[in-house]
Amino acid sequence: MYDYYRAADRQAAMVDPDSGRAAPGTVFDAVDAKGIDPRVILGHLIALIRDVPYDLDLIETISLYPPPEGGPQSLEEWEALPEDSPYKEGPCIEELPTDVRDTLAGVPDGRLADLVERWEQEFFAPPDGGYLTTLIAELRDLAQRAQAEDQTIYCWIC
């Protein structure tokens, strides 16, 4: 599960890291993107919007939670972690680059149908086109609100 949300800074983004960001009653302005991960599937959308070839390095996220500095440094340390460790089970919080926010914010309504048609080809089993249209519009609107408030987009992963 991937929830995209906006926050003023990293500290605000990591409040209550165990809770979903798009859940009812949450304090975050968020979009429930279901299985749309930031680096691959969202990366394909960003490539389509920018009209560039997709590359795995197109979206370089920054891992915030669990804190990378406390993570296992070897296979032995990894194996010694308890099974419920957030390093093994999540949740995770990733910060997206500002250029991704700005790319999403700039999608005009007139491009939605074309983007959906091209993006759904990237899925093994494409979701309904109506869902993708709504999702792109919701991500765009979230990015526009973040841009207007000079905020960053984050992804909560569980």
Domain assignment of residue 71, yes or no: no
CA distance 107 to 156: 23
Domain assignment of residue 80, yes or no: no
Q: What is the value of pTM for the model shown? A: 0.92
Torsion of CA 125, 6, 100, 144, to 10 degrees: 100
Domain assignment of residue 135, yes or no: yes
- H helices then E strands: how many in the chain? 7, 5
pLDDT in tens, 58-116: 999 999 999 888 788 889 988 888 888 888 888 999 999 999 999 999 999 999 999 99
Beta bridge mates, 3: 32, 156
Residue type, 62: I
Enter the tokens of residue 135.
């999702």
- Domain holding 148, by residue range, is 2-16+29-62+90-157
pLDDT in tens, 126-157: 777 799 999 999 999 999 999 999 999 999 99
Domain count, the chain: 1
Domain assignment of residue 55, yes or no: yes
CA distance 145 to 54: 26
Residue type, 20: G
Domain assignment of residue 23, yes or no: no
